[in-house]
Amino acid sequence: MSLPVRLDRVSFHTPTGVRILDDVSLAVESSHCCAIVGPNGSGKSTLLAIIAGRLRPQGGTVWIGTSNGEGTALEASRQIGVLTQSDGVDHRLRVADYVALGRIPHRRSSTTSMHRAAVAQAMEVCDLRGMSDRMLRTLSGGERQRAHLARALAQQPGLLLLDEPTNHMDVRARIELLDLVRSLGITVVAVLHDLTLVPRFADQVVMLSGGRLEYQGRAEDALCEARVARVFGMELVRARHPDGARDVLAFEPLAP
């Protein structure tokens, strides 16, 4: 079941008092794909960690579905799949064994055949057919990211959280991975640094600047010239694609 997300006036600061997020409220509809964007240090990864339940905010409330974050860690691990920038995984693992780690939250509530079916389906969806016995260290960057995604999907989550999922991938692999994620039909919240990928992937955009919410709304309205210049210090250049149906975006440093 796909789960909506809502944050109500969420704030977070370090033990030394450095404010990372300041009074952030947002909502992501069920089955929508949301891109979180912003400059380095704007609070993107912290926001994702709070949604995941890995950090507890000092202020505000986080709702996942109908739960306000007071559920158990086991409930959260069954509902939320997370793909971080660095999983610290043992690369000597076989691909199938690694993907099967996603079934740990369900180990006492599912049969062996259910576990096997979930792992097989996740590997099928992520185009890992024929790679079951390969070690993770033998995979390319793109194949490894698909294995990470398959592990998260083996949980059968209603919410998928991705922290810069296209790291270490070439241009084609980035587009293919995000197209795959978008096709899943579940709620997805992804931190993206490459702004050119946002219009193709996102139904909505959350833009952070200095820990505060700069914009929340439709992807097609998020990247405007004035906002990109103000938040990123970059010039947005638009060109119409030859198919006439969409714009192609490029970004250049603002002239001094």
| DSSP codes joined into one string, 159-207 | EEEEESTTTT--HHHHHHHHHHHHTT-SEEEEE-S-GGGHHHH-SEEEE
Say yes or no: 159 and 88 in one domain. Answer: yes
Domain encompassing residue 230: 224-256
Say yes or no: 250 and 184 in one domain. Answer: no
Average pLDDT over residues 241-256: 88
Average pLDDT over residues 122-134: 95
pLDDT band (50, 70, 90) for residue 73: low
pLDDT band (50, 70, 90) for residue 69: low
| pLDDT tens-digit readout, 157-212 | 999 999 999 987 889 999 999 999 999 999 999 999 999 999 999 999 999 999 99
Q: Which amino acid is at 165?
A: P
Say yes or no: 126 and 45 in one domain. Answer: yes
Q: How many domains does the chain have?
A: 2
> Residue 122: pLDDT above 80?
yes
Say yes or no: 212 and 232 in one domain. Answer: no
- How buried is residue 220: exposed, middle or buried, by Cβ count under 10 Å (0-12/13-18/19+)? middle
Average pLDDT over residues 132-157: 93
> Residue 88: pLDDT above 80?
no
> Residue 4: pLDDT above 90?
yes
Q: What CA–CA distance (Å, rounded) separates 107 from 115?
A: 8
Over pLDDT 90: what percentage of the chain? 79
Residue 103 is encoded by which pair of tokens? 């079934």
**Given this model, what pLDDT does residue 70 score?**
58
| pTM given for the model | 0.92
**Given this model, what pLDDT does residue 128 score?**
95
Residue 65 φ/ψ, nearest 5 degrees: 65, -125
The H or E element that residue 150 is part of is: helix 141-154
* Average pLDDT score, the chain: 92
> Residue 250: pLDDT above 90?
yes
Q: What CA–CA distance (Å, rounded) separates 84 from 48?
A: 10
Say yes or no: 214 and 238 in one domain. Answer: no
Average pLDDT over residues 3-28: 96
**Given this model, what pLDDT does residue 29 score?**
95
**Given this model, what pLDDT does residue 68 score?**
67
pLDDT band (50, 70, 90) for residue 132: very high
Q: What CA–CA distance (Å, rounded) separates 240 from 53?
A: 41
Say yes or no: 35 and 104 in one domain. Answer: yes
pLDDT band (50, 70, 90) for residue 86: low
Of 255 and 23, which is predicted with more confidence?
23
> Residue 36: pLDDT above 80?
yes
Say yes or no: 109 and 144 in one domain. Answer: yes
Say yes or no: 126 and 251 in one domain. Answer: no
Say yes or no: 147 and 35 in one domain. Answer: yes
Say yes or no: 104 and 59 in one domain. Answer: yes
Say yes or no: 172 and 235 in one domain. Answer: no
Say yes or no: 182 and 135 in one domain. Answer: yes
> Residue 71: pLDDT above 70?
no
Average pLDDT over residues 91-100: 93
Q: What CA–CA distance (Å, rounded) separates 182 from 188?
A: 8
**Given this model, what pLDDT does residue 167 score?**
82
| Closest residue by Cα to residue 135 from 85, 90, 84 | 90
What's 90's domain CATH number?
3.40.50.300
8 A C-beta contact, residue 33 and residue 57: no
